[in-house]
Amino acid sequence: MSDAKIRLSLTVNGEPVDVLVDDYKTLLEVVREDLQLAGTKHGCELGECGACAVLVDGTPMLSCLVLAAEIGGRHVTTVEGLARDGRLHPLQEEFADRGAAQCGYCTPGILVTAKALLDHEPTPSRQRIREALSGNLCRCTGYHQIIEAVEAAARTLAGPDGPDRPAGPDGPDGPAS
Amino acid sequence: MSLIGRPRRRVDGRAKVTGQTRFADDLVFPRMLHGKLLRSPHPHARIRGLDTSKAAARPGVHLVLTGEALPITYGILPVSHDEHALCPDVVRFVGDPVAAVIARDEATATDALDDIVVEYDMLRTFASPDDSLAYPEPRIHDYGDEGNIHKIVSLEFGDVDRAIDGADRVFEDVFFFEGNTHLPLEQHACVALKGPDGKLVLYSSTQTPHYVHRALAKALAMPAAHIRVIATPNGGGFGGKSDPFNHEIVAAKAALILDRPVKFCLTREEVFYCHRGRHPVLMRLRTGVTSDGRLTGLDLQTLLDGGAYGSYGVASTFYTGALQTVTYAIPRYRFRGCRVFTNKPPCGPKRGHGTPQARFGQEVQLDKIADALAIDPADLRLNMIAPADSLTANYLRVGTIGLAECITKVVASSGWREKHGTLPHGHGFGLACSSYLSGAGLPINWNDLPHSAVQLKLDRSGGVTAFCGATEIGQGSDDVLVACVAEILGIPPFDVRAVTGDTDLTPVDLGSYSSRVTLMMGNAAIQAAERARDLLADAVAARLEIPAARVTFADRRVFDASDPSRGVTFQEAVCIAEAKVGAIGTTGSYTPPKSPARFKGGGVGPSPTYSYTAAVVEVHVDPDTGWIAVPRVWIAHDIGRALNPTLARGQVEGGVYMGLGEALMEEQAFRRLPAKLSHALVHKFPSILEYKSPTSLDMPEILTEFVEHPDPAGPFGAKEVGQGPLLPIMPAVANAVFDAVGVRIDEVPITPDKILRALAAGASGKPARVGPDAFPEIAWPDALKVTPPWEGGDGRASNPTGAPTGRAVDAGVEAKAALRALRT
């Protein structure tokens, strides 16, 4: 094992980051260990399960297969970067409301993959959603509630209220009634 | 009710969608070290020598442990404490750990494993149950019923041979269910540390912190009171994280020695080898049937490939035979089960624990019976359903039974009557049913203690904290806990905090297995909440000068039901009560009812109540390629009451998904390495890429329906939903394949090559079937004979020692008479 370190400058969730990391590390390891963004998961570290997906310049990539050294200067988005200004992304709202996250372990990778889909195709068909998520395994849900949540988020994003949809409840049941 | 029965965001939903759920491998502590296990490359060998000196000297290595450091055995069941955290003398499967390295980082620990020199003397490899039955020596373990048979059981409820021989038709079939594994997305991980107080803390992705707590106390010879086990949210469990694991015990030992936090995180390959999953089961069913399609008796034999250790295997063995009589009325029943040790990763509980295999066999055989008797498979089953609130032949007390409604629903929604048996070649519909426990009626460690307990702390803020040992594995147990408490106290779930799965802070709940948590924890939570409600009601009644019975809780208020304007806020009510009686804390407990079974072996199968499921699966089979597509599944589940329909539906769909994986592709199968290598018995495909599981593109449409008749045993009437809906899927696929192309695939997984083989066999005049040919001769012990309730039995064995009886007490009863007795 090499002890060499490299200096890595990139943008993570909209913020510039400058870190010194071991040169052999994957983007997954840098995100989880050096940047302490533990929301991104690992399920196989061989590119088989999709749990480690992050967005690099808006495109989903399996961070376990990417050398961190390769992504200097790029924009990386993790699950921690989906919520903005204290508001969850519509995908997050719908996933939480519609049972799309059971154990939640595959959820971060699926959320960012779905975000990339909706960013490029605001009104995907159900088949397109299934195709876009086919590299992300989920062992809990059977996928249906995930797909429905993506569809619902697409409707929200496209609707008259669009991205300015009122922030969802922070609590499990909404604000105190 | 304001919460129960309404679709609602689960209480931990926000954490999960923001990436803030902290799984075990997400935990980082200052000065934390990392551990790796050196695992045996041989399936069965004696350790002749072990040299760890080079590894210990490697820079960055802090500790090397071997079996000498952990000489005490442990295991999940008291009858099979057969595991060492590190093998001291014999390794029993490829993957059995022999040494551990604790180092500054994972890479250093992994590299140091190569520095350890182990010399092995090879022992005979037992690669299959046939091997284990044929060769009693060398024994894989020095305990068990005989040779390499771990457990062999024989139970007979009434004179089965007479009931079957006296039937109009007798059906005999042999089936095989291949093993498969849980494949949770999260690999097992744990962190052990010595707390500032010097006591041991273990964070682990375990479904059963209470049992890990016990195992640590035993294996480390430490007072349990000085050990704290915290179950981190599991990134999927499905039964695979229900055993105490070697890496947990090694991490704890190392943390105590080094006084530094020690983390283990298994690789995906290690998870495949840890296994504890579905037992491969060969089974033989001999069933007597009247010409109008009623069962007179069932004679079931099962042979389980247990792998290298006991795990839950004794229970698994009984479970292959326990629930046949719960699903359908069977007047007389004999069950013989045999679990053998082999040199493969240990099998254990996977979703459905022991029951899916024999359910597959029985449901496919029923399809054959229906076909032979020209009875609609749905009607056949509708005529076999046991009466509600009755005892089965093997003394299981069933409560509500919604199976008939489940069948009726899926028959209607799928268009079964028009579709089954009528579609063009290549298109088929199949139907199957199941039942499942809502929690095991007996604890693993037999005692009289509650199976679940909940403590509530009511705060002056108006907030409530609910403490329970239950473990959130994704199924939504925290949500059930909070919902039950919030419903009773009339407050929003957001005002309730769940503290769960922490042996220091929470009262014992036995764990997230056997579909027990909703029912048992839910009942305990309701009791605790009702006691808190009563305390508050008394105090508020005194303040309002009204009878306590009129005090109502809703909308975060506590008020007079006769005049809702008179009342106080919930927070004020807590303060009023605290001023009156002191700090407000209550407890609730749940202990299942005693089983009427009084025979040895009757402890596996009892449950407070059972869920029921029916499913119809549509398949398209391409006769040229054998390819099987499943476009649609209709499933109805008798859940008693869906506490949160969003989560309940997710459990059903997840069960259908996992069942389709088992039906069509998932295999925990093994192969020999070439002789010029080691000839070792290894996993065929210990990676997610090669171990096929369904993706989003493979999933059919699913129409889920619930049958909701609240069961008196369940919290707000709820029964289980986590496991039962998986069970009918595999046989429904097999039955649909028969409907589509006329071939019987009497084993799972049902793959295209088997379809083609069966079609080819049929075309050449042989039976159009793929499946096992025979069930081996097994020297079964004399059966424990228990007379069924309707033949005058009292739940006891007439020969409690298993000795043969000269003449069965009911020997003269004819099969049809027995059937009549059951029905009256």
In the sheet that B551-554 helps form, which strands lie side by side, from edge to edge? Answer: B551-554, B557-560, B563-569
Is residue A165 over pLDDT 70? no
> b vs e for B612-636, b when ≥16 Cβ sit within 10 Å of the residue's Cβ?
bbbbbbbbebeeeebebebeebbbb
* Same structural domain, A47 and A24: yes
Examine residue A35 and state whether it is found in any structural domain, yes or no. yes
Examine residue A154 and state whether it is found in any structural domain, yes or no. yes
In chain B, what percentage of residues exceed pLDDT 70? 97
* Same structural domain, A105 and A144: yes
Q: Are A68 and A29 in contact (CB under 8 A)?
A: yes
DSSP A43: S
Is residue B554 over pLDDT 50? yes
* Same structural domain, B570 and B634: no
Examine residue B308 and state whether it is found in any structural domain, yes or no. yes
* Same structural domain, B656 and B721: yes
**Residue B200's beta-bridge partner residues?**
B194, B227
Backbone φ, ψ for residue B15 (5° rounding) = -60, -40
Is residue B593 over pLDDT 90? yes
Examine residue B719 and state whether it is found in any structural domain, yes or no. yes
* Same structural domain, A66 and A98: no
* Same structural domain, A50 and A114: no
B692–chain A nearest CA distance, Å: 11
In chain B, what percentage of residues exceed pLDDT 90? 96
Q: What is the largest CA-CA distance in chain A?
A: 58
Which helix (H) or strand (E) segment holds residue B682: the answer is strand B681-683
Task: Report the domain count for chain A.
Answer: 2
Residues contacting residue B644 through CB under 8 Å, at least 6 positions apart: B6, B7, B8, B10, B476, B479, B480, B483
Residues of B in contact with A49 (CB under 8 A): 185, 688
Residue B800 preceded by cis peptide, ω within 30: no
Q: How confident is the model at residue B822 (pLDDT cuts 50, 70, 90)?
A: low
Is residue B812 over pLDDT 80? no
* Same structural domain, B583 and B652: no
| Yes or no, beta carbons of B695 and A131 under 8 Å apart | no
Mean pLDDT of B186-201: 98
Mean pLDDT of B713-740: 98
Is residue B807 over pLDDT 80? no
Average pLDDT, chain B: 96
- Range of the structural domain that residue A149 is part of: 90-163
The CATH number covering residue B605 comes to: 3.30.365.10
* Same structural domain, A73 and A95: no
Q: How confident is the model at residue A175 (pLDDT cuts 50, 70, 90)?
A: very low
Choose one of B274, B297, B318: the last residue of a domain.
Answer: B274
Q: How confident is the model at residue B805 (pLDDT cuts 50, 70, 90)?
A: low
For chain B, give the number of residues.
824
Tokens coding B753: 């090559």
Query: From CA B735, how far away is CA B581, in angstroms rounded?
Result: 63
Choose one of B274, B307, B335: the last residue of a domain.
Answer: B274
- In A26-105, the DSSP E strands lie at 53-56, 59-62, 75-77
* Same structural domain, B210 and B240: yes
Q: How confident is the model at residue A163 (pLDDT cuts 50, 70, 90)?
A: very low
Determine the residue of chain A that is closest to B236 in CA distance.
Answer: A103
DSSP A30: I
* Same structural domain, B61 and B174: no
* Same structural domain, A96 and A156: yes
* Same structural domain, B315 and B396: yes
* Same structural domain, A69 and A133: no
Question: pLDDT per residue over B636-651, tens digit each?
Answer: 999 999 999 999 999 9
The predicted pLDDT at position A1 comes to 52
Burial of B687 (0-12, 13-18, 19+ CB in 10 A): middle
Taking the Cβ of residue B482 and every Cβ of chain A, the question of whether any pair is shorter than 8 Å is answered with: yes
* Same structural domain, A69 and A127: no
Is residue A45 over pLDDT 90? no
The predicted pLDDT at position B446 comes to 87
Residues 107-146 of A with CB under 8 A from B: 107-108, 111, 129-131, 133-146
Choose among B259, B243, B244, B241: nearest CA to B201.
Answer: B259
* Same structural domain, B370 and B398: yes
Examine residue B265 and state whether it is found in any structural domain, yes or no. yes
* Same structural domain, B701 and B577: no
Examine residue B269 and state whether it is found in any structural domain, yes or no. yes
Is residue B631 over pLDDT 60? yes
Mean pLDDT of B474-478: 97
Determine the residue of chain B that is closest to A108 in CA distance.
Answer: B19
Residues of B in contact with A21 (CB under 8 A): none
Q: How confident is the model at residue B802 (pLDDT cuts 50, 70, 90)?
A: confident
For testing contact with chain B, the best of A31, A140, A150 (most B CBs within 10 A): A140
Is residue B160 over pLDDT 50? yes
Examine residue A18 and state whether it is found in any structural domain, yes or no. yes
Taking the Cβ of residue B168 and every Cβ of chain A, the question of whether any pair is shorter than 8 Å is answered with: no
Tokens coding A39: 């929301």
Mean pLDDT of B145-152: 97
Is residue B787 over pLDDT 70? yes
Burial of B143 (0-12, 13-18, 19+ CB in 10 A): exposed
Mean pLDDT of B192-217: 98
Average pLDDT, chain A: 91
Tokens coding B7: 């679709």
Q: Is B560 helix (H, G, I), strand (E, B) or coil?
A: strand
Question: pLDDT per residue over A81-128, tens digit each?
Answer: 999 999 999 999 999 999 999 999 999 999 999 999 999 999 999 999
* Same structural domain, A67 and A98: no
Taking the Cβ of residue B180 and every Cβ of chain A, the question of whether any pair is shorter than 8 Å is answered with: no
Question: pLDDT per residue over A88-97, tens digit each?
Answer: 999 999 999 9
Q: How confident is the model at residue A161 (pLDDT cuts 50, 70, 90)?
A: low
Q: Which of A37, A105, A171 sits opposite B23 (nearest CB)?
A: A105
Helix A144-158 to helix A90-97 angle, to the nearest 10 degrees?
Answer: 140
Residues 106-135 of B with CB under 8 A from A: 107-108, 111
The CATH number covering residue A73 comes to: 3.10.20.30
Residues of B in contact with A133 (CB under 8 A): 696
Task: Report the domain count for chain B.
Answer: 3
- Range of the structural domain that residue B714 is part of: 151-180+277-441+599-770
Query: From CA B718, how far away is CA B21, in angstroms rounded?
Result: 27
Question: pLDDT per residue over B678-725, tens digit each?
Answer: 889 999 999 999 999 999 999 999 999 999 999 999 999 999 999 999
Query: From CA A66, how far away is CA A89, in angstroms rounded?
Result: 26
